[in-house]
Structure 1
Amino acid sequence: MSWLYLFVAILLEVSGTIAMKLSEGFTRVAPLVTMFICYGFGLTALTFALRKIELSIAYAIWSGIGTALIGIIGIIWFKESVTLLKVISIILIIVGVIGLNLTGEH
């Protein structure tokens, strides 16, 4: 169940970050409210995940996968620039998260 909480926490954090972008600097109310709700529930889900998953593993996965997803969403949805360095960096984040997960508890 802890891994499900972690997965939900990642999705909520990514959703909150997208809402932050859509709030246009705190000028649009609906995305702003969505952002606070997503971050609140996301951190709650992360807290529940930490009941069974080691902090170093859970946080690395949460932040790493969240960062990689936001990078990919930024490129696809928000039409951000794509450079070789950006793509390699996203791949390295994912490889790092996999590596940490392989060294963690089983």
Structure 2
Amino acid sequence: MGYGLLAAAIAAEVAGTTAMKYSEGFSRLWPSLGAVAGYLVAFALLAQTLKVIQVGTAYAIWAGVGTAAVAAIGMFFLGESTGLAKLAGIAFVIIGVVLLNLGGAH
């Protein structure tokens, strides 16, 4: 159940960050409300996740997967640059999350 909550927290954070991009500096109402709602839901779900998953592991996964997902959304849907260094960085984030899980997530 903990990883399901964590996945939902990540999805809410990614949605909030994507909405923030469309809010144009919080000058557009609906995307701004979406950003705020996304982060409120993300933090509430992360707080519930921390009841069953160690804080270091949960936060590393939340931040790492969220960062990789937002970078991928930027590249594939928002027209941001795609380069070898950016792709390698995303790969390293994912590798780091996997290593954290192997090193003591249980």
Cα separation, 1, equivalents of 2:42 and 2:26: 20
**Matching of residues 80-99 of structure 1 within 5 Å:** 80-99=80-99
Query: Which residue is equivalent to 1:31?
Result: 31
Cα separation, 2, equivalents of 1:38 and 1:87: 26
Query: Which residue is equivalent to 1:22?
Result: 22
**Runs of 5+ consecutive residues of structure 2 not aligned to the other structure:** none
**Matching of residues 1-106 of structure 1 within 5 Å:** 1-106=1-106
Residue 27 of structure 1 aligns to a residue whose secondary structure is coil
Cα separation, 1, equivalents of 2:94 and 2:87: 11
**Runs of 5+ consecutive residues of structure 1 not aligned to the other structure:** none
Which runs of structure 1 show a deviation greater than 3 angstroms over 4 or more consecutive aligned residues? none
Identity of aligned residues (%): 42
Count of residues in Structure 1 that have an aligned counterpart in Structure 2: 106
Deviation at 1:105?
Answer: 3.1
Q: Which amino acid aligns with 2:76?
A: I
TM-score by length of 2: 0.97
TM-score by length of 1: 0.97
Deviation at 1:48?
Answer: 0.2
Q: Which amino acid aligns with 1:97?
A: V
Cα separation, 1, equivalents of 2:104 and 2:53: 9
